[in-house]
Amino acid sequence: MAAPLAYSLIATDLDGTLLRGDDTLSDRSRDALARAAAAGAQHLVVTGRPAPRVRPLLDDLGGRGLAVCGQGAQVYDVGADRLLFSVTLDRELAETALGKIEAEVGQVYAAVDQDGVDGLTLIEPGYRMPHPTLPAVRVQRRDDLWCAPISKVLLRHHSLTDDELATAARSAVGSLATVTMSGPGTVELQPCGITKATGLALAAEFLGLGPSQTIAFGDMPNDIPMFDWAAHGVAMANAHPELKAVADEITKSNEDDGIAVVLERLFRGR
């Protein structure tokens, strides 16, 4: 009789974690995930990207199950191309939060991810996309950002570091929104109480799994709640110091197939 799996659910962030810097998945990582799947483990993408920006990547991975998108605001059924769960950020609250942040740090530049499987990413004048491969639509003025329901707001500042902007934003917005830092040049506002952990917990429930069966991989502070929820959290070598400080394990970088290194160890001989 085969020994039970150490982990039945593999939760991975995308950018800076599973994907290389050019948005590709290495053959080694692909093979490691395939071996884990053959042994009975399920792979669940847990990302800050909204569902429309994830769909092409999941198609390439051959995924037809669930994905957690939008920092936990969306649980996406890939095969059916529909949202099983979605929560939006109130647009009036978002506008108020931006005003409070700008009162503290001066002008910020904003973008929004619209809700829904066909939602757009809208960027106001002055905002520069931190990830150039992601499509976006430039609008003429900030008011145009609020034309449809949104899942989150993305922020940039001309001189503050990401850590400085995130700290100032948390202090300014209080309970109006959850503030996360999910990558270089990516500080975000999302619905209060929504994190990767809330989305992961809901998706795991749909799959009949729980935290004790879950291993999670990430690279940024927005992955901390996911690590707190999962039984085992693995930070990449390129991870932010805040995430490394709470990780159970540190693996190689995303460029050096860090996820594959761990999965090959866990599923060796299966």
pLDDT digits (tens, 9 = 90+) for 63-88: 678 999 999 999 999 989 999 999 99
Q: What is the mean pLDDT of the chain?
A: 93
In the chain, the amino acid numbered 214 is: T
pLDDT in tens, 209-224: 999 999 999 999 999 9
pLDDT of residue 251: 98
Q: What mean pLDDT do residues 42-51 have?
A: 95
The mean per-residue pLDDT over the stretch 21-38 comes to 93
Q: Is the pLDDT reported for residue 234 higher than 60?
A: yes
What is the identity of the amino acid at 135?
A: P
Is 6 a residue whose pLDDT tops 90?
no
3, pLDDT greater than 60: no
The tokens for 17 are 């974690």
Q: For 27-42, what is the mean pLDDT?
A: 94
Angle between helices 27-38 and 258-266 (to 10 degrees): 30
Q: Which amino acid is at 225?
A: P
Q: By mean pLDDT, which of 15-29, 74-88, 93-107, 123-137 is the weakest?
A: 123-137
- pLDDT-based confidence at residue 9 (cuts at 50, 70, 90): very high
Q: Give the pLDDT score at 90.
A: 96
* Count of other CB atoms within 10 angstroms of residue 223: 35
pLDDT of res. 61: 74
Neighbour count for residue 70 (Cβ, 10 Å): 32
- pTM for this prediction: 0.94
- Would you give the DSSP letter of residue 107? -
The Cα 66–Cα 74 span in angstroms is 10
Give pLDDT, residue 2.
Answer: 47
pLDDT at 1: 34
The answer, yes or no, to whether residue 55 has pLDDT greater than 70, is yes
pLDDT at 71: 95
Render pLDDT for 127-185 as a digit per residue (tens, 0 to 9). Answer: 998 877 778 999 999 999 999 999 999 999 999 999 999 999 999 999 999 999 988 88
Which DSSP letter does residue 3 get?
A: P
* Separation between Cα atoms, residue 135 and residue 62, nearest integer Å: 22
pLDDT for 184 equals 85
Q: Which residues contact 112 (CB under 8 A, 6 or more apart)?
A: 94, 121, 122, 145, 146, 150, 152, 153, 154
pLDDT > 90 in the chain, percent: 85
Residue 269: pLDDT band (50, 70, 90) is low
